[in-house]
Amino acid sequence: MNVANLLRRFRCRLEMRLIATASLVGILLYLPPSALAKQPTVVDVPNGPAFVKLPGRKEVNARSGQDLFNNTVLRTSKPGRMQIKLSTGRQFRMGGNALLQLKNSTVKLQRGALIGWIQPGLKNRQPFTIQTRLATASIQGTTVFIELDDDKLKVFSWEGEVNVATTSGESYTLQSGEQLLVELNQPTITWSSPVKIKEAEASRRLTKSRLINGFATPMDTLQDIERELGVKALDRS
């Protein structure tokens, strides 16, 4: 084979590669932002048992750095707890006998305790929504605690505004330090207005909470919580 033929073959291959590269760039440019978003990720697992069940897969032990997907089911058993970062940048920690499912940018909590927050200064203003069978809580730059078991549903604003919409049609707005508590062991579920907890109780919760203390890094909103409620946490790592 002479030199001219070799050059022609080399040029042909080069052109094909350039066309393929240009096509790929064009596809990426026209993809919606959601298609290019990062996957949800397990950030930290301070204690087990903690489990991950990806769609169509068997349940496995949760581990830091593990990628998650839409419809993933997460579960912890006492004293298990873990921290998750969603593709939107919102984060939450779950613990105790908790069970939930990731549904796009919504967390569907079936049972257990969860604390969720939005990093201060995050440009994406999409609300962080946590859904239960009784009510849905939404935040846009605050920190919320939710606990659901057989006896009660508790929604607590650690700092900022939390909007709660019940499945029976009621709507409530919680401010820093306010709590919405519903007893489920009654013949009829009755909703009542949020109540501000006392400073001593807020301090006790902040220092005792296993979802605030004992993780590899403090929550992004911890300083905001301390400033809003005038109390200090143990976790200063």
For the beta carbon of residue 192, count every other beta carbon within 10 angstroms. 11
If asked whether residues 191 and 153 sit together in one domain, one would say yes
pLDDT digits (tens, 9 = 90+) for 116-129: 999 887 776 788 99
CATH for 127: 2.60.120.1440
E strand or H helix at 81: strand 81-85
pLDDT digits (tens, 9 = 90+) for 14-30: 566 655 554 444 444 45
Its domain, for residue 24, covers 3-30
If asked whether residues 111 and 137 sit together in one domain, one would say yes
If asked whether residues 21 and 119 sit together in one domain, one would say no
Residues in the chain, total = 237
If asked whether residues 156 and 56 sit together in one domain, one would say yes
Question: Cis ω on the peptide bond leading into residue 32 (within 30° of 0)?
Answer: no
Residue 144 lies in a domain: yes
Residue 58 has pLDDT above 50, yes or no: yes
